[in-house]
Amino acid sequence: MNDHLQGIQTGDATTTEAPGGVSVPDVPSQRFYVTTPIYYVNDIPHIGHAYTTVIADALARWHRLLGEETFFLTGTDEHGLKIQRVAAANGISPQEQADRTSERFREVWKLLDISNDDFIRTTEPRHTRSVQALLQQIHDNGYIQKRRYSGPYCVACEAYYSDAESQEHGGNCPVHGTPLEHFEEDNYFFKLSEFTQPLLEWYEANPHAVQPEGKRNEALGLIRQGLEDISISRTSISWGIPVPWDPGHVFYVWYDALTNYITAIGYGADPERFETWWPSVHHLLGKDILRFHCVYWPAMLLAAGVEPPHQLNVHGYLLVGGKKMSKTRLNQIFPADLVNGNEKLGFAAFGVDGFRYQFLRDNPFGPDGDFSYEGMLTRYNADLANNLGNLLSRVATVVASKCGGIGPAPQIASPLAQVAKEVYDETAAAWAATAPSRALEATWRLIREANSHLEAHEPWKLDPGPAVDAVLGDALEVLRIVAVLASPALPTTTAEIWQRIGLSGTAAEQRLPEAASWGLYPGGLRVTKGAALFPRLS
């Protein structure tokens, strides 16, 4: 077999052999488990939900490219008073409310090409079993106690606040700004106070568990203040999972919800499967739910004798007009309006990959970021239409006019080979650090350099021959590498690029790092121009 064919699929060959004859292991060397928060079913999916889910999806796709066995979980959080009240307001049962809205999430994830391996709903029997098993274990270990509770409560947060917090905010919820309600009931309490020291030790021993650094400090701050025991059950509502040792109580929605991450991998049902995936999990979450994930969740697991999660990646809000999106502010934006366009709102159709690119590329992971339609338009036209789209269409046009439509092979000693190597290293490091925006910025450097290379040599002005072949071969090789590196962000358009440059299969089926090696585009393949990948939008 020709050296250039090794390690990739072309029109006529498939191999799992890497360059130099090193075989690529079919058995994954590592596992990658990634989760999104599970979304409440009181609200339909908006771009804030999509933001987290697209990032999780791109991470899962990147790890699949690395040949890792990957499990990507998302789902819906369906119990609690908030859902019960919305259902009542809509004149339907909570289950109907959950069924309808959960379906909306599934539809939108399908629209956005989300490749989740499982979709968990907290009303499923498998989840009831797992929640009851976890909480029973914590109870058996002596960390749960019954007490009478009264205090200010926010239904939107599904959380009690301390009197001090309530006073500080004038009787309003610190997150929502709406009046807190006074609740009083018999509750089971989780003895969180006993976990202050174990949590501090866990943070000390796992300095990278909470990312980024600022969010780790925020979590540590909460723990260092000293932790109070927390109420984990309710008698005031019935829409929840019954406490197994006292079925008059249901678990408070957060303890039910957090457990989803272990239900889906078989906690309480399939110990072998559970051991396979836990604790090497990467949770993605917004900063509003840091306390639950970075304090309560590891403490619950420690109390049950289970290791806390490997990594918690906390991101900021996606703001619209400087404000967090909410139904009451009427500033929600829905994914389909940006993917398919919405004339009434004056939105162009960015397509699925245009949408995904914006939310992966625009905001660095961590701080808040403001969504701007104009910003999205500018970025789409610059990065996708001009840089990537133009590279493909220019190359295909010149291959048609100067090479009879057959793409030449790259030069091994191309000046772009070194750039490709650096770009791969930077891209890989950024994905490993959960920094999609940096990863795409790195990948786009290769596109820009290839465009400059074309402009410097102007093959369209030359007569057919080796000089033209060299420049076009290099540009085709860049397109091949970019198709692989950008496939987590742009699954559809990179599959299209792959085909148009004559390769068979998909970019996403390739394996890194082998597929990023310079010189694998074999040449001799038919290159097709086709319609603009990313039509310019105005």
- Which active-site residues does the annotation give? 46, 49, 154, 157, 173, 176, 324, 327
Among residue numbers 44 through 103, which ones bind ligand MSP (CB under 6 A)? 48-49, 51-52, 77
- Residue located via tokens 């029997």: 125
By CB under 6 A, is residue 359 in contact with ligand MSP? no
User: How many angstroms separate the CA atoms of 233 and 254, rounded?
Assistant: 10
By CB under 6 A, is residue 318 in contact with ligand MSP? yes
By CB under 6 A, is residue 265 in contact with ligand MSP? no
By CB under 6 A, is residue 257 in contact with ligand MSP? yes
Least spacing, CB of residue 293 vs ligand MSP, in Å: 7
Which H or E element spans position 101?
helix 94-111
Least spacing, CB of residue 368 vs ligand MSP, in Å: 8
Q: Which is nearer to ligand MSP, 283 or 511 (CB)?
A: 283
Contact assessment for residue 527 and residue 347, using Cβ atoms and an 8 Å cutoff? no
By CB under 6 A, is residue 104 in contact with ligand MSP? no
Least spacing, CB of residue 61 vs ligand MSP, in Å: 20
Residue 352: is it exposed, middle or buried by C-beta count within 10 angstroms (0-12/13-18/19+)?
buried
Least spacing, CB of residue 90 vs ligand MSP, in Å: 17
By CB under 6 A, is residue 267 in contact with ligand MSP? no
Neighbour tally for 233: CB within 10 Å:
25
Q: Which is nearer to ligand MSP, 120 or 403 (CB)?
A: 120
Least spacing, CB of residue 148 vs ligand MSP, in Å: 27
Q: Which of 17, 99, 165, 288 binds ligand MSP (CB under 6 A)?
A: 288
User: How many angstroms separate the CA atoms of 159 and 3, rounded?
Assistant: 62
Neighbour tally for 275: CB within 10 Å:
11
By CB under 6 A, is residue 282 in contact with ligand MSP? no
By CB under 6 A, is residue 360 in contact with ligand MSP? no
User: How many angstroms separate the CA atoms of 46 and 359, rounded?
Assistant: 12
Spell 1-24 as b/e; 16+ CB within 10 A means b.
eeebbbbbbbeeeeeeebbeeeee
Q: Which is nearer to ligand MSP, 188 or 297 (CB)?
A: 297
Residue nearest to ligand MSP (CB): 286
Contact assessment for residue 489 and residue 440, using Cβ atoms and an 8 Å cutoff? yes
User: How many angstroms separate the CA atoms of 427 and 487, rounded?
Assistant: 12
Chain residues in the site for ligand MSP (CB under 6 A): 37-40, 48-49, 51-52, 77, 257-258, 260, 285-286, 288-289, 317-318, 324-325
